[in-house]
Amino acid sequence: MNDDALAEDLRQVIGELVRTVRAADTMPAGEAAILGHLARGGAHTTADLAQLRGVTHQAASKSVKELLGKGLVGSESHPSDGRKLLLRITDSGRAHLERERAQRARWLNTAITDTLDPEERRQLRQCVALLGRLAAHSPHQ
């Protein structure tokens, strides 16, 4: 197998795995992504979140509106531009995000245990480190 084929196979399999794991989620992917950005990066504006997610402002606004309505995100006036709102994850939002992540991890752990034998699980542990190195390699280098 040449390197181009390996790269394409890896891209396809990882994409399929991500979609399969997300099927266990109880909230839309856009909302979960926004909660994740707010949990990791602190307060952001809707425009910031749209840029981080690579979506339109309108798409991010729709997700933000849902999250605000559910009390998973709170807002306050932006300190340097009163026309903007600064969004923060609430304690309830953080707890919800942790439940979603735990649910994904449980599903994946069950899949690993049910599907892979002990030697394959050992190999998978080694692959995780390799995948981490690939993920850290910026496409802009």
Q: What digits encode the pLDDT tens for the residues 56-105?
A: 999 999 999 999 999 999 999 988 888 889 999 999 999 999 999 999 99
Report the distance separating Cα 45 and Cα 84, nearest Å: 7
CB of 91 within 8 A of CB of 73? no
Average pLDDT over residues 126-136: 92
pLDDT band of 141, cuts 50, 70, 90: low
H or E, element range at 24 = none
**How is 103-132 classified by DSSP, letter by letter?**
HHHHHHHHHHHHH--HHHHHHHHHHHHHHH
Read off φ and ψ for residue 72, nearest 5 degrees.
-90, -15
pTM for the full predicted model: 0.79
CB of 107 within 8 A of CB of 18? no
Q: Which amino acid is at 139?
A: P
- pLDDT at residue 3 tops 80: no
**How is 42-84 classified by DSSP, letter by letter?**
--B-HHHHHHHHT--HHHHHHHHHHHHHTTSEEEEE-SS-TTS
pLDDT (0 to 100) of residue 116? 97
Three-state DSSP state, 138: coil
Average pLDDT over residues 106-128: 95
